[in-house]
Amino acid sequence: MKFSDFVKVDSILTKLEATTKEGVVREMVESLAKEGGVPAESVDDVIGAVMKREELGTTGIGRGIAIPHAKHPGVSAIVGTVAISPEGVDFSSLDCQKVNLFFLIVSPPDAGESHLRALRHITAQLKNEAFCRYLLQSRTREDIVNLLNEADDGMYLEEE
């Protein structure tokens, strides 16, 4: 699984306006919907599904990173987007720090293994400090897409 398999490039947000957890999720889901990744009529339901998943445990994994995700019947394939909040947002992170980097994934209900592969791909890349730092420094969608492409090519994978 690669970023290019599920990230809707035109939905990437370089400067989130939201200042709350639900606001971040809403802004990202609406951006996906605007680009056809999520049906417009499913936006509120998808937001609800992501927030319900957050109730099970935060997807703020620490180091300024969150990977909100959910399964929803409104999508027929895994879709995702990336967003940056230069100021950071309280996302109830495991390390109690604000989150600056967000990766959202929405999968169909039957995408069990594919959903997990997408999550594994994201977390593997995010272990690399340089990748995270470059993402935070990105000011344009093109910068982010270039980084995602480099990551897909294995440039930021940590040696085991």
Question: For 12-40, how does the pLDDT look when each residue is reduced to its tens digit (9 = 90+)?
Answer: 999 999 999 999 999 999 999 999 999 99
How many Cβ atoms sit within 10 Å of the Cβ of residue 20? 11
Q: Check if the beta carbon of residue 72 is closer than 8 Å to that of residue 49.
A: yes
The verdict on domain 3-152 having CATH code 3.40.50.300 is no
Average pLDDT along the chain, 160 residues, taken 10 residues at a time? 95 96 98 95 97 95 95 95 96 94 96 90 92 94 96 77
pLDDT for residue 65: 96
Q: Check if the beta carbon of residue 69 is closer than 8 Å to that of residue 53.
A: yes
Note if 69 is an active site residue.
yes
pLDDT for residue 17: 95
Cα 81 from Cα 104, distance rounded (Å): 5
Q: What's CA 11's distance to the chain center, in Å?
A: 11
Please report the sign of the dihedral spanned by the C-alpha atoms of residue 69, residue 30, residue 74, residue 5: negative
pLDDT for residue 158: 63
User: Whole-model pTM above 0.85?
Assistant: yes
pLDDT for residue 73: 95
Cα 50 from Cα 55, distance rounded (Å): 9
